[in-house]
Structure 1
Amino acid sequence: MTLDLPVALQIVGGALVAGFIQGMSGFAFALIATSLWVWTIEPQLVVPTVIFGSLLGQAISIHSVRKDIRVERAGPFVIGGVIGVPLGAMLLPLLDVTTFRFAVGSVLVVYCSIVLLGLRLPVFRNPGRLADGAVGLGSGVMGGASAMSGPPLILWVSMRGWSRNEQRATYQAFFITTQIVTIVMYVLTGVINRHSVQLFWLVGPPIVLASWVGSRWYRGLSDARFTRILFVLLLASGATMIGTSALQVVHGLVTR
């Protein structure tokens, strides 16, 4: 696979932007990278490249919260997610992904808009490991079925009364584990091929650099500002889901 210089620069630019935002927030790489790369990378290559980039960025940026990682806190989410990812992948052929994404996106837009307008979040300080595991399972299923595992998990941990470091350490541990499982599945099923690896080499260095810079930026954020950034990104994620779903519906009607 050969890339023209302008195309290669656009891909690298997308990697820098997505890597920085993930380094600062601990998530949203898929949201940003997909929206930027979908115009320059073939659809079959976008998903594995996004998963690889997100995993690489997570591995770099999790260093900023490594002291707050607790197995007893993250464990139920991770176990649920590891079970959920393959289930989501198996459910994918049975789901109407367009309707699914539109529904999830609508909930995110409404909920995050209310929160950003000033409504206080409910706090669940001790809902139990079973509830945490169920959220992890649901997030894993969403990730396997639609490549969007972040929203339910991030919403849930934001209502646990934890500090920003505790929240981030928990969901980043979840993302790293489930993305490793996804990468293994992609290798075994042939989704990752030599063309994917060529793109990995192209996007890897800028992602490492941007994620490191973003994680340094994160250290200067207060808990309140960090929470606001999370909900703005979740709102953008929901709006993106609605927009892409609507475009798919329109495209389907036009091509009939």
Structure 2
Amino acid sequence: MWSEALILSAGCFVAAFCAGMAGFAFVLVAAGILLHFIPPTVTAPVLVLGSLFVQSLAMPTVWRDIAWPRMRLYVAAATLGVPVGLLILAFGPARAIVMGVGVLLIVYAGYALARMALRQAPSRFTAAPPADAAVGFASGILGGIGGYVGALPAMWADIQGMDKRDARALMQPFIVFMQAITTPGLFFGGFLTEEALLMTASAVPAMLAGTWLGVRAYKVIPAQGFRLVLLGLLLVSGVSLVI
């Protein structure tokens, strides 16, 4: 029990630092660490509750920058996608879909990092609402399959060439709203056990420290550095989905 709590705190600290700095990837980073040591039945609710807690802590840094009409479209489309993801999880090729998304993230992050190394400027455009809705819907599907709601919006933000404030103001609130929607489902599904709640509570100090350090890093990191972190986490996220 104590060894699991220490591993959990360490994994949540690293994940909270990444989420505090980049605005996403808590679930993917933490899962990549914790699932090697802690049973998925315990890890899943900890990841969702931890993500909700960490992203909510950092929300004040982006609140004024949120584009609410766009955010409502993302959340509505993603909410429609969650039941589809749950059905795929129960009856479909969930693992194949997750691996396919992982490969997509790896290819895109590798391509974008190569462009950065060659000093080629990223593209810049504003997506039409149907495209945003499609990304939101696909993110909802991934959320239903395994809570992976942040990776596709992060990639979509980079594809559009968003600056770090706009990118974070898209990813972070979206993750908060979607994890808030997911949490009651965990409760009614019987996943919020006493053990899971105690494990989450034990990691709160680590998540607070990691988030605080991550937000401080976000405030001082230059735009190019933020994009490098974003792409690096997309690459790590893709690898974690594939292996």
Partner of 1:10: 7
The code of the aligned residue for 1:151 comes to A
Partner of 1:251: none
Deviations 1:174-202 (A, max 9, x none): 10111011111111111111111111211
Partner of 1:215: 215
The percent identity for this pair of structures is: 29
Deviations 1:75-106 (A, max 9, x none): 21111112222321122112222222222111
Q: 1:95 to 1:101 in 2, by over 3 A?
A: same
* Distance (whole Å) between structure 2 residues aligned to residue 145 and residue 120 of structure 1: 35
- Contact 1:20 1:210 survives alignment (8 Å): yes
Partner residue of 2:74 out of 74, 77, 86: 77
* Distance (whole Å) between structure 2 residues aligned to residue 48 and residue 167 of structure 1: 26
Partner of 2:144: 144
Partner of 2:106: 109
Partner residue of 1:62 out of 51, 55, 59: 59
Alignment of 1:176-215 (within 5 A): 176-215=176-215
Partner of 2:93: 96
Q: 1:225 to 1:55 in 2, by over 3 A?
A: same
* Distance (whole Å) between structure 2 residues aligned to residue 8 and residue 200 of structure 1: 9
Q: Number of matched residues?
A: 239
The answer to whether structure 1 residue 123 and structure 2 residue 124 are counterparts is yes
Deviations 1:9-28 (A, max 9, x none): 22211121111111111111
The code of the aligned residue for 2:8 comes to I
* Distance (whole Å) between structure 1 residues aligned to residue 164 and residue 28 of structure 2: 21
Compare 185-194 and 96-105 and name the one that shifted more: 96-105
Superposition deviation, residue 160 in structure 1: 2.8
Q: Greater relative contact order (Cα 8 A, min sep 6): structure 1 or 2?
A: 2
**Structure 1, unaligned stretches of length 5 or more?**
244-256
- Contact 2:5 2:203 survives alignment (8 Å): no
Deviations 1:31-72 (A, max 9, x none): 221122123322211111011111100001122222211212
* Distance (whole Å) between structure 1 residues aligned to residue 180 and residue 52 of structure 2: 7
Partner of 1:45: 42
Superposition deviation, residue 154 in structure 1: 1.2
Partner of 2:235: 235
* Distance (whole Å) between structure 2 residues aligned to residue 100 and residue 217 of structure 1: 33
**Computing the radius of gyration over CA atoms, which structure comes out larger, 1 or 2?**
1
The code of the aligned residue for 1:75 comes to R
- Contact 1:76 1:130 survives alignment (8 Å): no
Give the TM-score taking structure 2 as reference length.
0.92
The answer to whether structure 1 residue 23 and structure 2 residue 23 are counterparts is no
* Distance (whole Å) between structure 2 residues aligned to residue 76 and residue 219 of structure 1: 28
**Structure 2, unaligned stretches of length 5 or more?**
none
